[in-house]
Amino acid sequence: METRKVVNVISGVNSPSYGLVQSEENGTLVCTLSGAHFSKGSVRVPLENVRWMEDVREGVAQYTIDNLVWWIRERIHEANAKGVIVGVSGGIDSAVVSALCKKAFPEQSLGLIMPCNSIPEDRQFAEMVCTAIGLDFKVMDLSETYNVMIKTAQSSGLVGTESHPLVGGNLKARLRMSTLYLAAQERGYLVVGTDNAPESVTGYFTKYGDGGVDILPISSLLKRQVREMARYLHIPEPVIKKPPSAGLYEGQTDESEMGLRYDDIDDYIAGLEIPEDVKQKIQLMEARSQHKRELPPSAPKEMNALFVK
């Protein structure tokens, strides 16, 4: 672990915040501060205004949490929205984002649990998360909606009865996206996404499903960083230890479906050494999924020779 020094600024014009210490000069610290003070860049803080964080890992976690909570608030205020809504799956990514949303908007945040022929354990974990962090939540079971749509699609000849599990799995993700925006528009909220850095890089998300959101607060965080931050957000331990799964179909796990370990993807993103065959597989997934990370291409206006009137 690289050497870092972190302080908690407890008084003065730069409080409350956490600071990453760059240097110490004549009774003052030069720091990069968190939260609302982040945009100030390097600032000088008197030593008497700080408390040294003995647990450096906790310090950098709190610094990051403070920054992300502030960032969420800024994005919602820029959009003139009233609050935030997040889909709570029972997994660690949505748990962390839910906790950040609750901190950012204690009274204007909502968790939405959306079972869709899901295993009962998923709902139990999701409710456990909401209860632990004090997040208001609602449950909308999409199972019947999904069943009717699949049956209608089969009778219309759009899909077969033996389609790949991802056909139905991606439909579940898109139904959840539509439900989130239904609830968000009703309240004037923005939809907060839960994709992490490995998912973003590899394209391991459903286009216009869990990828259809307004903001992505943890898309730069490695999976191991999400896991570490979860502990300082008081996410229940069973949720932290639960094998990552999108819950798209029974028995599905992220790593088995990707054929990759999150640790390897984390190392790739961080620029660390990984086996060459694993590196090539990640790069292939990244290239093939580039369209997911971009807006749809538009034909150049120069191609249009039609009269205006």
Query: Any residues with CB less than 8 A from the CB of 64 and at least 6 apart, and which?
Result: 34, 225, 229
Chain centroid to CA 146: 25
Q: Is 194 annotated as a binding residue?
A: yes
DSSP string, 101-121: HHHH-SSSEEEEE--SS--HH
What are the phi and psi torsion angles at 144 (to 5°)?
-65, -40
What are the phi and psi torsion angles at 110 (to 5°)?
-140, 135
Q: Is 93 annotated as a binding residue?
A: yes
Q: Is 291 annotated as a binding residue?
A: yes
Find tokens 């760059």 and name the residue: 22
Q: Is 168 annotated as a binding residue?
A: no
Q: Please, what is the Cα angle at 89 between 83 and 92, to 5 degrees?
A: 95
Coil, strand or helix: which one is 22?
strand
Q: Is 94 annotated as a binding residue?
A: yes
Q: Is 207 annotated as a binding residue?
A: yes
Q: Is 134 annotated as a binding residue?
A: no
Q: Is the peptide bond before 296 cis (omega within 30 degrees of 0)?
A: no
Instruction: Report which secondary-structure segment, H or E, holds 51.
Output: strand 50-52
Q: How would you classify residue 116: left for phi > 0, otherwise alpha for psi between -120 and 50, otherwise beta?
A: beta
Q: Is 281 annotated as a binding residue?
A: no
Q: Is 54 annotated as a binding residue?
A: no
Q: Is 188 annotated as a binding residue?
A: no
Question: From the annotation, which residues make up the binding site?
Answer: 87-94, 174, 194, 199, 207, 214, 223, 245, 291-292
Write out the binding residues for deamido-NAD(+): 174, 207, 214, 291-292
| Residues of each annotated binding site for Mg(2+) | 93, 199
